[in-house]
């Protein structure tokens, strides 16, 4: 079976998919667990000094991420400055990412919006571009009800054949998807998991209890990813992995292998970097760190400002502590 130019195996339909539109080439929940796991950077979007998307730097950065061991990538998320990308730029970044990855790891495109029509448009484009999945944030600012959340995600689900990962981040969206609503959505064949940025480790356990191990749970917070995986998570959509992809991949691989002692050792080393990534609004710190490693410039778009001297010093110290060196990009 072929999806977006890539081959995946399929399995039998679970009984609860009866009556739901299922494409012939769907990726089922069991297969999603195998596809979407490990260290998955929420990619920054490199820009030139005048604020233009730097396509060449971005593709070299994506290639470096894959070569360093990242097990997937997420373009056009908040860390990629999706709120300030135009519609055309958004689609371009997804296309560039798919091209650079060239089928080596899954591409999970950020396609969310608080406008359902726009979320459908971005998700359909991501499928056409060859992405492997869609990361869709809960609608922000307009604060829908739980039934409104369900209707929003079902509308996007029904309009595309991509596996969908829910992005639940109440601190930014000011709406929290309940475990009950998530469980209802998981009955749809292409709702496969969640990026959980609630900061509540009990939520991971509750979601696992409600939906089982076939529901993909990815942490949205680097600093708590160790505990999250211990509670049933299978990976992290990471900001720190923009800067230290190899170390973040080793950290996730240690947990997958059951070596939590090694994972804790790596977590201790990475913690200072995790903390610096949010000393000021993201992705300012990540872009500055990337600039120190020769990955791209530090330019961000308003309203995100260049970071201050205190944060810069902390990032320099964190990079030195990890022994990170300038990257050689192709």
Residue ranges covered by each domain of the chain: 2-17+25-262
Token pair recorded at residue 250:
């080793």
Calculate the alpha carbon distances from 283 to 18, 172, 176, 217, 236 in Å. Answer: 43, 14, 23, 23, 17
pLDDT confidence of residue 132: 98
pTM over the 0.75 mark: yes
pLDDT-derived band of residue 27, with 50, 70 and 90 as boundaries? low
> Region 90-95: what's the mean pLDDT?
98
The CATH class, in words, for 2-17+25-262 is alpha beta
The pLDDT of residue 18: 41
Catalytic residue among 8, 26, 140, 167: 167
Q: Which of 1-10, 21-30, 255-264, 304-313 has the lowest mean pLDDT?
A: 1-10
Catalytic residue among 37, 95, 195, 312: 195
3-state DSSP call for residue 105? coil
Mean pLDDT of 211-223: 97
Give the pLDDT score at 7.
34
| CA dist., res. 136 & res. 119, Å (int) | 8
The pLDDT-based confidence of 31 (bands split at 50, 70, 90) is confident
The pLDDT-based confidence of 26 (bands split at 50, 70, 90) is low
Q: Band of the pLDDT at 17, cuts 50, 70, 90?
A: very low
The pLDDT confidence band at residue 330, using thresholds 50, 70 and 90, is low
- CA angle centred on 316, ends 311 and 318, rounded to 5°: 95
**Two structure tokens written together for 161:** 């054949």
262 in active site: no
Rounded distance between C-alpha atoms, residue 197 and residue 300, angstroms: 23
State phi, psi for 13 to the nearest 5 degrees.
-75, 130
* Residue with the two structure tokens 């060859």: 130
Strands 38-41 and 108-110: unpaired
Decide if pLDDT at 2 tops 50: no
Kindly report which listed range (12-16, 39-43, 172-176) carries the lowest average pLDDT score. 12-16
- Asked if 167 is an active-site residue, the reply is yes
Can you tell me the mean pLDDT for 18-22?
47
Going from the C-alpha of 64 to that of each of 67, 199, 207, 302, the distances in angstroms are 5, 29, 34, 27
Task: Concatenate the DSSP letters of all residues of 46-63 into one string.
Answer: -B-TTS-B-HHHHHHHHH
Q: What is the pLDDT of residue 14?
A: 41
């Amino acid at each position: 079976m072929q999806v977006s130019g890539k081959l995946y195996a399929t399995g039998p339909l679970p009984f609860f998919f009866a009556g739901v539109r299922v494409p012939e080439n769907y990726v089922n929940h069991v297969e999603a667990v195998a596809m979407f796991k490990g260290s998955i950077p929420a990619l920054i979007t490199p820009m030139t000094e005048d604020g233009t998307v730097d396509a060449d730097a971005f593709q070299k950065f994506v290639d470096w991420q894959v070569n360093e061991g990242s097990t997937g990538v997420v373009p056009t998320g908040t860390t990629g400055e999706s709120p300030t990308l135009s519609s055309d730029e958004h689609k371009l970044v997804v296309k560039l990412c798919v091209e650079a990855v060239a089928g080596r790891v899954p591409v999970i495109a950020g396609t969310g919006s608080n406008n359902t029509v726009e979320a459908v448009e971005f998700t359909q484009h991501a499928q056409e571009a060859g992405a492997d999945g869609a990361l869709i944030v809960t609608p922000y600012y307009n604060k829908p009800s739980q039934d409104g959340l369900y209707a929003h995600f079902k509308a996007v689900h029904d309009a595309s054949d991509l596996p969908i990962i829910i992005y639940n981040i109440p601190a930014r969206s000011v709406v929290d998807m309940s475990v009950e609503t998530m469980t209802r959505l998981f009955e749809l064949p292409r709702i496969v998991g969640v990026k959980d940025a609630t900061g509540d480790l009990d939520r991971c356990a509750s979601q696992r209890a409600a939906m089982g191990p076939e529901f993909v749970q990815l942490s949205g917070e680097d600093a708590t990813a160790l505990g999250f995986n211990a509670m049933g998570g299978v990976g992290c959509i990471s900001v720190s992995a923009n800067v230290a992809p190899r170390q973040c991949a080793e950290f996730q691989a240690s947990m997958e292998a059951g070596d939590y002692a090694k994972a804790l050792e790596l977590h201790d080393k990475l913690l200072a970097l995790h903390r610096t990534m949010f000393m000021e609004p993201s992705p300012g710190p990540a872009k500055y760190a990337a600039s120190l490693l020769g990955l791209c410039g530090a330019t961000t778009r308003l309203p995100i400002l260049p970071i201050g001297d205190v944060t810069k010093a902390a990032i320099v110290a964190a990079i030195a502590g990890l022994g990170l060196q300038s990257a050689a990009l192709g």
